[in-house]
Amino acid sequence: MADEKSLKFAEADSVKKFAFFGVAVSTIATLTAIIAVPMLCLHMQNVQSGLQEELVFCKAKNSDLKSEFFKLDKINSSILELIINLSIY
């Protein structure tokens, strides 16, 4: 009888340690998730807004570049017409 009681107390003590470890790990995981998930969302939002700004900048530069290409095309066609006209005469 005494042997059985001591075995039950030893098992209860083992289960207590296991339960405490489980509660401690789950508490740490929950606190980490509470802190990490909002930080991750904030980081993703910052990256997205930075990329959006870069995209707007690139679109503006692309527009400027297109206008420069059209100017160069007009100049090249004018020079080509001039060369053709000079070669005819």
- Note the pLDDT of residue 29: 96
Give the helix, strand, coil percentages of the chain, each rounded to 5.
Answer: 100, 0, 0
pTM for the whole thing? 0.52
Cα(23)–Cα(27) distance, integer angstroms: 6
pLDDT of residue 30: 96
Radius of gyration of the chain (CA): 37
**CA 25-31-37 angle, 5° bins:** 120
**Domain boundaries along the sequence of the chain:** 1-49, 52-88
Per run of 10 residues, the mean pLDDT along the chain (length 89 residues) is 82 92 96 95 96 93 85 87 78
Q: How far is Cα 24 from Cα 28, in angstroms, rounded to an integer?
A: 6
